[in-house]
Amino acid sequence: MSQRTHASLIGTRILLGISGGIAAYKSAHLARLLKKAGAEVRVVMTEGAQAFITPLTLQALTGEQVRTSLLDPEAEAGMGHIELARWAELILIAPATADLMARLAQGQADDLLTTLCLANDALWCMAPAMNQAMWRHPATLENARRLEKYGWHLLGPDAGDQACGDVGPGRMLEPEAIVNELLDRLTDTGSKPSGLAQHATDAAELTITITAGPTREPLDPVRYLSNHSSGKMGYALAQAAVERGARVRLISGPVALETPPGVERVDVESALEMLEAAQKAAVDSDIFIGCAAVADYRAEQIAEHKIKKSSDEDALTLRLVKNPDIIATIAQSAVDSRPFVVGFAAETRDLERYALDKLTRKQLDMIVANDVGRPGLGFGADENAALLLWRGTENEAAPGRLELSPQPKTMLAAKIIDTAIKRLSATDEQSSCPSSQVT
């Protein structure tokens, strides 16, 4: 169960921006849901949006004049565009087309909606909607990353059937899901959105340690046991963390990846080496993320010389012993000096149940659960989907959850880092607040 029951849209001044995509027809329902939830809603439509839905529809639903043009003397005489930008506590763009994202990522102000976005410093959310190939294009992904850096919250996109007949990521989230996501964002930033400073993630003070890649468990001087982990997810996490200004240590098993600039990389091979490096790094880390695919077992004895093929035995027996659980060791170390610990759970069924069990059993603070049975996602792939689960603090009681739809690992990584940072500060606030003061 999520903690969204704590937030409300009642009285929140929302500027709903609609750009020109087929999903614009859903924006009418979205406007209704926002009104029903108690928000004050004003709508701004781009020229393209008006090809899909009329301003009159939105005017009837919101009871407010819909703005479409920057250079409209009559509308400006009522509420000028800067006044409108100041009025909005939350800007929600749904749908956000590839073109609009590109213009906002460039800081353009070539129509009313983009101008308002530049002039406003409240909470910014957008629900991208476009064809799957357009969404996957490196230019769009780069724009999405840049927008997130500027403080935009990207809600979705979802994956599935598209209006053009394609199947893949790029569908706009359903209006109900958008409203739920807004409530989550409002919960994260307090009961009301209030200012750019609150939603720009500041990790400059933090040290984040991340384990990544596989481990290699030697059998003799030339052979080892290992797995197919590519390290891409862990490296993407390191990149996202360093982009947010954190000091980042990456404890890496053998992978064929470049170290992201600014990241301190420690190379290890076996699980025992990884444990040693992790324990050393954890001492002064604020967040510890165990993303490595650590081998569960290692050879009991490493042969001093190359194991020879026997001419009279058809079978060879290797005795394996269990490796230590690195993340559990860190999570269960002295409570006062222990970092906020984030683990991963790759499951093929009962994702949430097994992940919650792992969260509790290993005493983690947050877990990133992946359904590794889904084709094209996870191990070795560039994309992944995830379910984030975290323990509730004392005054939240229930664990929190955030579902992240299939998207490039780089974008997913940014959301995981942001959520971990937010949860860390929620936990810190909790521990610095005597329980008698908790309301």
Q: Which positions are catalytic?
A: 164
Q: Could you count the other beta carbons within 10 Å of the beta carbon of residue 364?
A: 27
Per CB under 6 A, which region of 27-35, 156-164, 257-265, 342-350 contacts ligand C5P?
Answer: 342-350
Q: Which of 224, 235, 344, 390 binds ligand C5P (CB under 6 A)?
A: 344
Q: Could you count the other beta carbons within 10 Å of the beta carbon of residue 117?
A: 26
CB of 290: closest distance to ligand C5P in angstroms?
Answer: 3
Residue 430 CA to residue 425 CA, distance in Å, equals 8
CB of 258: closest distance to ligand C5P in angstroms?
Answer: 21
- Find tokens 């919960």 and name the residue: 187
**Preceding omega of 95 cis (within 30 degrees of 0):** yes
Residue 117 CA to residue 133 CA, distance in Å, equals 26
CB of 130: closest distance to ligand C5P in angstroms?
Answer: 33
CB of 423: closest distance to ligand C5P in angstroms?
Answer: 16
Per CB under 6 A, which region of 44-52, 72-80, 239-247, 322-330 contacts ligand C5P?
Answer: 322-330
Site for ligand C5P in 126-155 (CB under 6 A): none
Structure tokens at 203: 């990790």
Is 325 a binding residue for ligand C5P by CB under 6 A? The answer is: yes
Is 359 a binding residue for ligand C5P by CB under 6 A? The answer is: no
Structure tokens at 325: 């659980």
Residue 171 CA to residue 163 CA, distance in Å, equals 9
240 vs 294 by CB, closer to ligand C5P: 294
> CA angle 342-345-349, nearest 5°?
150
Tell the burial category of 271 from Cβ atoms under 10 Å away from its Cβ (0-12, 13-18, 19+): buried
Residue 127 CA to residue 184 CA, distance in Å, equals 14
124 vs 235 by CB, closer to ligand C5P: 235
23 vs 292 by CB, closer to ligand C5P: 292
Q: Which of 15, 129, 326, 377 binds ligand C5P (CB under 6 A)?
A: 326
Q: Which of 84, 93, 144, 327 binds ligand C5P (CB under 6 A)?
A: 327
Per CB under 6 A, which region of 17-25, 138-146, 287-295, 369-377 contacts ligand C5P?
Answer: 287-295
Site for ligand C5P in 5-34 (CB under 6 A): none
182 vs 291 by CB, closer to ligand C5P: 291
Residue 156 CA to residue 177 CA, distance in Å, equals 9
Could you give the angle at which helices 112-119 and 98-105 cross, rounded to 10 degrees?
40
Residues that bind ligand C5P (CB under 6 A): 211, 271, 290-292, 294, 323, 325-327, 343-345, 358
